[in-house]
Amino acid sequence: MQAEVPGFQLDFFQLFGLPASYRLNNALLDQHYHILQEQVHPDRFSHLSEVERRVSMQWATRVNEAYQTLSDPTKRARYLLFLHGVDIQEECNTAMPADFLMEQMEWREAIEEARQVGDAAELDKLESRLLHEIHGLEAQLAARIDDLQDYAAAAGDVRKLKFLEKLVEEIASAFDALDS
Partner 1 sequence: MALLQISEPGLSTAPHKHRLAVGIDLGTTNSLVATVRNGISVVLNDENGRALLPSVVRYLADGSVRVGDVAQAVQSEDPANTISSVKRFMGRGLSDIGGINGLPYRFVDAPGMVQLRTVAGVKSPVEVSAEILKVLRARAEDMLGGGLVGAVITVPAYFDDAQRQATKDAARLAGLNVLRLLNEPTAAAIAYGLDNAAEGVYAVYDLGGGTFDISILKLSRGVFEVLATNGDSALGGDDFDHRIYCWLLEKNNLSALGASDSRLLLTRARAAKEELTEHAETRLTANLRSGEAIDTVLTRQDFHAMSQNLVAHTLQPMRRALRDARLKVEDIKGVVMVGGATRMPQVQRAVAEFFGQTPLTNLDPDKVVALGAAIQANVLAGNRSGDDWLLLDVIPLSLGIETMGGLTEKIIPRNSTIPTARAQEFTTFKDGQTAMSIHVVQGERELVGDCRSLAKFELRGIPPMVAGAARIRITFQVDADGLLNVTARESVSGVEATVTVKPSYGLSDAEITRMLQDSSQHARDDMQLRALREQQVDAGQLLEAVENALAQDGADLLDQAGQTRIRGSMDELRAVLQTDDHHAIKRAITQLNDATVVFAQARMDKSVSRALGGRKLTDLEV
Residues lying near partner 1 in the complex (CB under 8 A): 1-2, 5-7, 15-17, 28, 31-32, 34-52, 55-57, 59-61, 64-65, 67-68, 172, 175-176, 179-180
Cβ nearer to partner 1, comparing 10 with 101: 10
Name the residue nearer to partner 1 (CB basis): 154 or 161: 161
Which residue lies nearer to partner 1 by CB, 103 or 119? 119
Residue 22 contacts residue 149 (beta carbons within 8 Å): no
Least separation in angstroms between residue 161's CB and partner 1 is: 17
Report phi then psi at 110, rounded to 5. -65, -40
Judged by beta carbon, residue 10 or residue 83, the one nearer partner 1 is 10
C-alpha span between 79 and 66 (Å, rounded): 10
Among residues 131, 120, 117, the alpha carbon closest in space to that of 73 is found at 131
Smallest distance, partner 1 to C-beta of residue 29, A: 12
CB 12 to partner 1: min, Å = 13
Taking the least distance from each CB to partner 1, the nearer of 56 and 156 is: 56
Neighbours of 161 (CB within 10 A): 20
Gap between the Cα atoms of 84 and 140, Å rounded: 18
* Nearest approach, Cβ of residue 107 and partner 1 (Å): 19
Q: How far is the CB of 41 from partner 1 (least distance, A)?
A: 6
Cα 164–chain centre separation: 12
SS3 for 49?
A: coil
Q: Return d(Cα 91, Cα 162) in angstroms, integer.
A: 11
The answer to whether 146 touches 86, Cβ cutoff 8 Å, is no
